Amino acid sequence: MRVKGIKQLIQLAKEYTASEEFKADYKKYRHAKLNPDEKTKLGVPKFGKMINNKIDNAVDKGKNEKLYPSDPSEIVKQRLQNFLVVSKTVDFDAEVSNGMFTKKEYERKSAKWKMCYRAGKEVVEAAQTEAIKWLQELE
């Protein structure tokens, strides 16, 4: 049931990321990330901050494009690739005692790694298969 659920969830994500709504939402998200604090809490523009952001963005153009690509499909590719990298490192046989991993190194793993562990091997393998197919479609 969980495997079927993850496949449906990925299908919904594919549909959403192909929509105009996603493109518009991502454009807003990207703008907010690249131009922080441009407006006051009342929505009044901070012109000095806007100018500083423009300068910073011009200087850091390559870095910004890597972090927040202008093409929304690129961020989808990045996230799928990141999932594949992280999920391949999960030890599904890791022992847990009193809600903690017995190996300290696993306690230091990322929240994404731990989420994959909690989801279980079958679910993660199904998600990996779907992610690989999706990446191939995006190429």
Is a pLDDT exceeding 80 seen at residue 45?
A: no
Rounded Cα gap, residues 29 and 68, in angstroms: 9
Q: Is the pTM of this model over 0.85?
A: no
DSSP assigned state of 93? T
Domain regions of the chain by residue span = 2-19+72-138
pLDDT digits (tens, 9 = 90+) for 120-138: 999 999 999 999 999 999 9
Here the tokens at position 42 are 């009342």
Listed in sequence order, the residues at least 6 apart from 95 whose beta carbon sits closer than 8 Å to its beta carbon are 101, 102, 103
Q: Predicted confidence band at 97 (pLDDT cuts at 50, 70, 90)?
A: very high
Give per-residue pLDDT as tens, 72-91: 999 999 999 999 999 999 99
Q: What percentage of the chain exceeds 70 in pLDDT?
A: 100
The partner residues of 101 in beta bridges, in order of sequence, read: 96
CB atoms within 10 A of CB 37: 11
Residue 11 near residue 134, CB atoms below 8 Å: no
